[in-house]
Amino acid sequence: MTYPQPAASEFVKNGGEFWRLNTLLASPGDIYESDESLLALAVGPDSDLSRVSISYYDKSVPASLTNSMIISPDRSFVGQIAARPDQPYPLTGLHGRVLVSPAELYDPAYRPPSGTLAFDVVNFVTPRLDVIGYFQNVPSVIPQRSDGDFYTELYQRPTVAGPTLAWSFVVVPYYGRKYGDFAILNNSAQSVDVQLLGIDYTTNSSALVQAIPTTLLATAAVAVAAQRDYQIRASVDGMFDAIVIGVRGSVNPQTLGPIYTTLRTSDDAL
Amino acid sequence: MATAANLPQAASQAFGLVSTKWSASTLKAAMTTFKTALRAIFPTDGTPAIRSVSNWLVIGAAIDTDIPVDPTRCSYITLNQACRYVFQICWAAENARTSTPQRITTAQATAVLAAFNAAW
């Protein structure tokens, strides 16, 4: 979906009781709008992002007349937020609307640290933003997110000729999650190395350090038909914006075969 | 003055350049310069497509008003908000320029980059 976004007014015209913005992020700079007033706001069940910024017209705020809040799976907002399309925001040429944007960073320019940076391949699971705005009074909203379930059997093979041991990385959103269950089974014809990082993005991605990395599983060999597991616990490992799964073939990365991988994530601290 | 060659590069320089202005106690002036230049690029409400970038002006104006005139009173939280705002509007403009169909014109995206380089 991304853009054009669904207009909240269409939901109202169709007699809907809520407006749902359920979209993959088009970029780290996404911002969406509702031109309809809302009676409650909550993070939706399918959201990868856990913290969402809401900005709205508020006459009581000096100068900018703009107020904001952050909603999360732990904190929805129940109460009227008037869109006020009749009122211009001062200092801009824009009129009143409820604005929705990620309060967490996402950087598709991120490259995991490695000694073979120029030859690695990096794939991103694009974060999904899911927000629900209600047009009717609700006594309370408990915006529990669904568990996440990333699964792959295939890692993109490094295609540029280079060192044998180039990495294939997959970056999976992990915003606000408190538990992750990682498992990898090597069903290829060669031994593979695997590593697992937790990262927090920075806005300083031109520098050598584009994110704060935490090693969850240091580079470890997984023999043919062997398996590795790791449980990510917020109380032990911390909380991260994303989990980086790295795999490389020990013989030839260009013949990397099926490698079954799952990463199940949950908001519950198991 | 920044010399980013494109908007992703500008976004990636956001933290460094914004915090340099903060250290030099010129964050308020730079934010105001950036805001004024952006408003000239997006002077009106525009279409929903254009607002996928210009809505950031509302956030930027709010951050600008939050930055105290006395630079020693500017908090880390406000600094962080300013960094993220610059990072995000640069990415928004780049995505709007490169999407199909384009949501803002190439000239508007180029002007956002020029505004970034002039302010930061």
| More confident position, B30 or A165 | B30
pLDDT value for A204: 67
CA distance A54 to chain B (A): 10
CA distance A226 to A221: 9
Q: Taking the CB of residue A179, how many other CB atoms lie within 10 A of it?
A: 18
Amino acid identity of residue B35, one-letter, is K
pLDDT per residue over A45-64, tens digit each?
A: 999 999 999 999 999 999 99
Query: In this complex, which of B8, B43, B88 lies closest to A109 when CB atoms are compared?
Result: B8
pLDDT per residue over A91-147, tens digit each?
A: 888 999 999 999 999 988 888 988 787 888 999 999 999 999 999 988 887 778 999
| More confident position, B114 or B70 | B114
pLDDT per residue over B47-93, tens digit each?
A: 999 999 999 999 999 999 999 988 788 888 999 999 999 999 999 99
Q: Determine the distance from the C-alpha atom of residue A110 to the mean position of all C-alpha atoms in its chain, rounded to a whole number.
A: 14
pLDDT value for A253: 65
CA distance B33 to B15: 17
Query: In this complex, which of A4, A94, A206 lies closest to B49 when CB atoms are compared?
Result: A4
- Token couple for A71: 């909603």
Residues in A touching B3 (Cβ below 8 Å): none
CA distance A200 to chain B (A): 14
Q: Which one of A31, A56, A202, A210 makes the best mutation probe of the B interface by having the most chain B beta carbons within 10 Å? A: A31
pLDDT value for A196: 97
CA distance A194 to chain B (A): 29
* DSSP tag of B7: H
pLDDT value for A209: 55
Query: Alpha helices, DSSP H only, in chain A?
Result: 8-13, 234-237
- Token couple for B71: 């630079």
Residues in B touching A28 (Cβ below 8 Å): 11, 87-88, 91
Helix (H, G, I), strand (E, B) or coil at A109: coil
Amino acid identity of residue A147, one-letter, is D
pLDDT value for A200: 94
pTM assigned to the model: 0.92
A63–B16 C-beta distance less than 8 A: no
B11–A28 C-beta distance less than 8 A: yes
pLDDT value for A256: 76
Residues of chain A with pLDDT under 50: none
